[in-house]
Every structure is written in C-alpha cells, then in structure tokens.
Chains A and B, each alone.
Chain A
C-alpha cells in the first residue's frame, strides 16, 4: 500500500474558511511518525454456524496512515466495512490479519488479546447513536468521571469534579453544573453527543474514532457537533477517523477521504480532489446518488444498486457485477491500488483500485455535476 510513504504535507489549497482546509493539519510535519498506521487489515466473520460455517469477508487488506491532527473520512454504503475498521482499531474486535502500528508499536503483537489501559487512554471512540452510547442509568457526571478515575486523570474528588465541569464546558454544555446532574434521557441528541465527545476527551486521547457521530442527530444541530470536533482537532491536535455515509460531511471535516466498497478501500485522496474528480466508478455512482436540490430527479444513475457478495465473493473486483465500465479483467483479477496524479502535488496521495487506471494517470475531471 503506497499510502505509507511518508509523503505529503497538506497545503492550504483553496482559499477558504473550511475547517479541514484551514490547515491545522499543517502541523503534521514531514518526518513526524504517524500516530496510527494500519497495514493489510483484514477481518473475516464466521457466519452460518452449524457444520459448515462460512466466512464473511467484511474487510480486505485495508491500509492507511493517520497523523496528528488529521481527519480521515471513511465513506461507503451500508455494510462496506467502515464500522469494522473502527472496531478493529478500538480493539472491540480482533482482526483476522494485518498490523496496527500505534506510535510505531505493533499493537497486535504487543497486546494480542485485549488492549492495554494505556492504549485505551490514547484512542477513544464516539458512537453513532448518542442515546445508545450513554448508559441510561448513569448521570452525565458518572460518564465523565469513570474514564478520569480509571485512567488516573484525577486523584481527589475536588479535582474530579473540576475536570468534569471543565469537560462539559469544553464541549459547550453550559451551565456545566446543571448538565453534570442530568441523565441521558433528559437531554437532546446533540447534547448527548456532546457528552459522548466529552467522555472521549476525558482521557486526553491522541486519536478519536468517530462512527457516524452525526447521522442520528437532527439536521439543524449536526453542524454544531461537527464543528466541535473540528475545533478539538485544531486545539488539541487530535487525529480523527471519521466514518460517515454522508459524503458532503466527509468532505467538510475530512482532510482525506477514503471510499470503501465491500470491505475494500476503492479510492482515496484529498477530500476535495476526490469529490471533484472521482475516479472509481463506485465513487462516481455514490456522488451521483447524493440528493441535490438543483438536480434533476430523472438524471440516470451510472449503475444499478445491489449488494456485493461478501460470503464467498467471486474473484476480481467486487464492484465488477455492477460496474458500467466493466472489462473482462475486472472479473478475473482484483485490482491493485494505483497512484493517480494529483491536481495539487502537495495534497495527500491519491489512489484508486480500478483496472481502468494506470499509475500516475490523471483522474477524470469535474464530470460529476455540471457545476463545481
């Protein structure tokens, strides 16, 4: 996987005030080792039980690198393996194979069975459903105290209290005293999600894994949560792995975007470039399907819907059965990742896994939607 090359510094390309572009990522200086590196991560689930259990290939050979203060967005349709990636990294599930290098340490070799407390203290997670991720029987204060106590971030009760209120203040739940005493069901979705973020922040993590943190929230409050995440990235240099199926938000917050399909990373690169000039047919389809107020409902989609076969997948490219530009080779061989030429050489490297492309070929430009 070529993404390991210690390459790029993201530059402020567009003159814009978008958080991702505003370039806190610039702190990810050349030479600084990445916080998290994933190599060839693969996960097969046993399904069907009985005499002949089958393997469901949820993740295939996933590799990427996350640096300090960088946000990588993972997008893809339901079941494409986005959450599975996060579960591996949060050590909620055991990968079938592959390596996870955390600050240079080979995690699976050092902590093969379950994660150490120290890892837990550095990698935190935010879940999709802000109601489900907070225990309905505990108060907000309890949720924040536990990690503080567990990771010895506070020693005295006063300090504990102070830190809890501080955290609540940080995530914008004011007045903190009032919120500390609340139960989850006494708060709105956005507030709950802020508590979840506060809990993740409590241990002062380097990486936050966010699994569709806004998809369950009301539209009007989504941006608040995204912006909060973004501020924390800037002020604390936290690296995010942001999972979403909303491509627009992936672009909004993600420095880089990786598109997943059937457990494969099919395309990746700087968020803007990727969306402006999608290379992989699946990415194109995805973009085409996004509702657009200006769009014409009758505009033909480039491909049909359909779920990939994850159990006993056929050889070749997983998208081949649906791909409008399918070639013979696609049905035979699984494509290798190919580096594409970047519009802006300073941008993160751009890759696609598709037989249509050759090394350093330029991606098709701006064909997505007329405007741009």
Chain B
C-alpha cells in the first residue's frame, strides 16, 4: 500500500513538472495568441481586430512568475481558464468531450493491440519455430515500422474511401447523439475501427516481441519444466504458469504504452478527424492558445499518470510478490 501511495506522490511531482514546462515553453517563444489568430486567417484579420482580440483574451504584461502563480492558483481551484482558439469557451468545456473520445480511441487501440500482441506473443513463444513464429514477428515488426499516420492514411483511403466499408471521419454518425444505447456504442465502435486499427497495426509488433521474449525467458524456468512434468494440460501450463508470469513485465510496459498512445494518437486523430485531444492540442499550439494547451497537457498528463497508477495497482494485484 505504501508503494502505491509513494507512486502517487511521484505522480504529483511528475504532473507538476510537466505542467510547469508547459507553462513556460510557449511563453518563452515569440508571438502571442492574437498574432497566431492572424496566422490562422492568413492576414485577413484587420489589425484593429487583433488589438481588440488582445483585449478580449485578457493578455497581460505581468511578469511571468506572477502569471505562473496565478495559473497555479487557478488550477488548484479547478479553473483552467478560457480557451483562446475556442473563445470564449472555458478550457474545461473544450477538453471535456475530447478527452473521453481520446480515452476511448486510445484505450480501445491499446487494449486490442495489447491483447492481440500478447496472445500472439504467447503463441509464438509456445510454438517456437512453427510457421506462426517464423511469420508473425517479422511481419508485425515491418508493419509496426510504418509511421502511424501513414498507416492511418492508407487505411482511410483503401478501406474508407475506395472500399467505402468504413466511415471516413468522426467518432460517431452525425445523426446520433452520444448516449449509452446499443446503437450508439455500436456506431462509435464502427467509427473507431479504422483509427484504432491503424494504431493496433502499428503497435502490435512491439507487444508481440516483448511478450514473446519474456515468455521464452519464462519457458526455460524450472517451474515450467516442473509444471510440464506434473503432466498438467498444455493450456494450463501455457496460460497459468508461463503467460501469467511473462505478463508481469509487460504490464509495466502497458502503462507506458497507454501514455504513449494517448499522446501518440494525435496524428491518427488528425487523419481521421477524430474529435479527440490530439487535434485540439495541435490547434492549441498553432493558435498559441496557452490556456487550452495547459489544459490539454494537464488532462493528458493526468490520464497518463492515472493509467500508470492503475497499472501499478494491477501489478500489485497480479504479482503477489509486490503485495508484502
């Protein structure tokens, strides 16, 4: 338990560092949100409009550290500020739904990829040298070497545009409103097939390899030989003795990967017009929307940290050795 609490403390520090970084980096750069707005309209914005926007956005000339403390103070009160790119919506509102969609997409992708990759890893390791083992790893390594977005674009084009089998964009059909109905969930899943699929294809190889490697390591442990010698069924040895142990190091990787995919789905989201955080962030960066950037960073960081924390807990649950 203290382990979990200690991790929690660490996560708080990590969150703070990442937020602080995110506060200062954009502010040390030239330009401000108003000129960024100008950029978005490619100069079609009147200078007077820019002046007015600066007033509206409440851009101050206070020294940075003062701004920083205000920012931290507001943050602690749960006030993320007002978005600039989506003026005058509060950042929390802009982020809210996007976060859910990103979590859904990334979560789905990671889960599927982890499950499939792990399963393949188990099977390839168990049947070493079989045709599956000689085909699957190199294939998925090769597929995984393609850039995420490249894969996404290709899938989109081939299966969505040319084939017409999958929707081209968005997280759900526009005639449906988010609800927990079966229809909506099915629709959301259907929309997630291509974007999640491209992430899955790109990341499956990693899971496969790491699982296969740990699994092979575990397979040469004495307790596996002993389990075999005990005459247990292959399934039981493979799953309860080998895979269960080989899974442990992979679970840690799982937390990392969740974080990675959460942030890495950015490109996929852009390709699929997926209303998640990735594209928001990109837009926030482009329009120097400090508050939104901070908000997004906060939510991504918190999501990543939460994922890691959950994994920590899962690890404790999975590995009796960490419980004492």
Q: Which A residues are within 8 Å of any B CB, using their own CB? A: 49-51
Contacts and interface: CB of A to CB of B under 8 A. Distances in A.
4 contacts: A49-B2, A50-B2, A50-B6, A51-B2
Contacts of A50: 2, 6
Nearest to B6: A50
B104 to A, nearest CB: 37
Interface residues of B, number: 2
Contacts of B2: 49-51
Contacts of A51: 2
B8 to A, nearest CB: 13
A311 to B, nearest CB: 14
How would you classify the secondary structure of chain A's contact residues: helix, strand, loop or mixed?
loop
A50 B2 CA distance: 7
Nearest to B2: A50
Nearest to B3: A50
Interface string B245-257: 0000000000000
Contacts of A49: 2
A61 B6 CA distance: 35
Contacts of B6: 50
Interface string B6-28: 10000000000000000000000
A49 B2 CA distance: 9
Nearest to A52: B2
Nearest to B1: A50
B10 to A, nearest CB: 13
A14 B93 CA distance: 93
A297 B321 CA distance: 36
A49 B6 CA distance: 10
* A-B pairs with lowest CB-CB distance, top 3: A50-B2, A51-B2, A50-B6
A307 to B, nearest CB: 16
A51 B2 CA distance: 8
A54 B220 CA distance: 37
A184 to B, nearest CB: 24
A51 B3 CA distance: 11
